[in-house]
Structure 1
Amino acid sequence: MLTRRQLIAGAGAGGAALLTTGCGPVRPPLRTFTYSVATKGAIRTSLDEFIRNAGATLSARQGWALGGSVAYRRVPSGGDFTLWLCEARLVPSFSSVCSSLYSCRVGRDVVINQDRWISGTSTWPLGLDEYRHYVVNHEVGHWLGLSHWASPGPGRLCPVMFQQSKGITDGSLYNTWPLADERRAVASRFGVPIWP
């Protein structure tokens, strides 16, 4: 096992750059998904910030990284999926099911609506940074094979796969990260454990 210091120094297998939080030995991931980043239309926000934020979301242990058993590695082109930062009016160009008001996932294209990236939605109460984590988690969750989940009811955290961008009206609580059941569904689908 490699230590955190060795990983930061780039001592990963095959020179792979691996990131971790915390201290002590780190297990290599059991499954790695690759993704590229692309833009469509006139981009008026920092692409570097988008790349950093999305990368942090994808590598977060409490998210779809499943405690580190899954890794997401950005590649220059291609990859398992493409993460798009897209001008709002062009989001529907990916599919007629997509709207210029929201983000969307179509096949291997995970499309983040630039307007939502810049300002979130009027109903989102947790701040822009949390919205950005939420929208990446939600759309990548679709790419991972999850559909929309139902609201759990008053006083309970909403699944990240609930359409929270459109607002919550039943007293459920806004939530940025996948719930345990959502993480279990992805772990089962890809045959990997959820590490603590």
Structure 2
Amino acid sequence: MRRRRRRAALLGLVSLGATIAGVALVRAGDAPTPPAEGHTAYGLGAGGRIAPPAYPVEGPGRFAAADGRSPVRGVDGPLRRYRVAVEEGTGQDVDAFAATVDEVLGDPRSWIGSGELRVQRVPEAAAADFTVYLATPATSERMCALGGLVTERYTSCRLPGQVIINLARWLDGVPHYRAGLETYRTYVVNHEVGHEFGEEHQACPGAAEPAPVMQQQTYGLDGCVANAWPYVDGIRYEGEPTEGL
């Protein structure tokens, strides 16, 4: 296993307002808009008939933000505050999504494992350095496109102050991953938040080795084994830098 220590680059704080890149945020508990009818990502249902996905492909572009705050996690370093929001009409509970994000980012195998970074979820837009969004494929594509990123409604992305998780990937994962949906969800949170913390893409270090968390594992493992964490056995695990979005 190829390991080396490196100080994670930290970006400056980015304060988010109640409206970010034209995407409206509302408080959790507001009446949700009914789901929009999906029109892509259909699969085969009973008898070989085409069945719609179990989630909306398009939504209203309005988000409910989680209330409350998490404990401060991490032992030292700058405190990065984040907010969590779920697009209305997705059928996903914002508190459950927030709890998963909190669990991932608060794990010592995540970015706080450096000992030089702390994180905390907050409810106030003005206090947050970045927001983690769960968005339908169409909405996530529109949001990512504002930063010049092409996702084809398939991948998640990160823009300054915005970590945008594609609902389809959150619910379905990717076919080749073979490590379970929970592991994929952990990976995608750590990967996109890693970009927010200044991390770049990395390559698979070798066949049957763990994939670096900054490898684009959604597109393929390139012979590596799925890995969702930046720290393995307490040591920063990395591959060589590579190009890509």
Same fold (TM over 0.5): yes
| Counterpart check, 1:92 vs 2:141 | yes
Which whole-Å CA distance do the structure 1 matches of 2:99 and 2:218 have between them?
22
Which whole-Å CA distance do the structure 2 matches of 1:42 and 1:67 have between them?
37
Q: Which residue of 1 aligns with 2:43?
A: none
State how many pairs are aligned: 161
Which whole-Å CA distance do the structure 2 matches of 1:28 and 1:147 have between them?
24
CA shift for structure 1 position 46 = 2.4
Report if the CA contact (8 A) 1:41-1:90 is conserved: no
Which whole-Å CA distance do the structure 2 matches of 1:28 and 1:162 have between them?
27
Q: Which residue of 2 aligns with 1:46?
A: 93
Q: Which residue of 2 aligns with 1:191?
A: none
Which whole-Å CA distance do the structure 1 matches of 2:123 and 2:173 have between them?
28
Select between 77-86 and 65-74 the one with higher mean Cα deviation.
65-74
Larger radius of gyration between Structure 1 and Structure 2: 2
CA shift for structure 1 position 17 = 6.1
Q: Which residue of 2 aligns with 1:116?
A: 169
SS at match of 1:36: strand
Which whole-Å CA distance do the structure 1 matches of 2:75 and 2:71 have between them?
8
> Percent of pairs identical after alignment?
32
Q: Which residue of 2 aligns with 1:35?
A: 82
Q: Which runs of 4+ in 1 moved over 4 A?
A: none
Change (3 A) 1:66 1:28: closer
Change (3 A) 1:98 1:48: farther
Q: Which residue of 1 aligns with 2:227?
A: 175
What does 1:5-154 align with in structure 2 at a 5 Å threshold? 18=71, 28-40=75-87, 42-66=89-113, 69-78=116-125, 79-96=128-145, 97-99=149-151, 100-154=153-207
What residue identity is the alignment partner of 1:76? Answer: P
What residue identity is the alignment partner of 1:75? Answer: V
Which whole-Å CA distance do the structure 2 matches of 1:52 and 1:68 have between them?
22
Which whole-Å CA distance do the structure 1 matches of 2:202 and 2:172 have between them?
24
Which whole-Å CA distance do the structure 2 matches of 1:160 and 1:125 have between them?
16
Which whole-Å CA distance do the structure 2 matches of 1:52 and 1:162 have between them?
25
TM normalised by structure 1 equals 0.74
Compute the RMSD of aligned alpha carbons.
Answer: 2.2
SS at match of 2:79: strand
SS at match of 2:90: coil
Q: Which runs of no fewer than 5 residues in structure 2 stay unpaired?
A: 1-68, 239-245
Report if the CA contact (8 A) 2:187-2:213 is conserved: yes
What residue identity is the alignment partner of 1:139? Answer: E
TM normalised by structure 2 equals 0.60
Q: Which runs of no fewer than 5 residues in structure 1 stay unpaired?
A: 1-15, 21-26, 184-196
Kindly indicate which of the two structures has a greater share of residues assigned to helix.
1
Q: Which residue of 1 aligns with 2:36?
A: none
Cα-to-partner distance string for 1:49-87 (whole Å, 9 max, x where unaligned): 211111000000011112654321111132110110111
Which whole-Å CA distance do the structure 1 matches of 2:137 and 2:176 have between them?
18
Q: Which residue of 2 aligns with 1:159?
A: 212
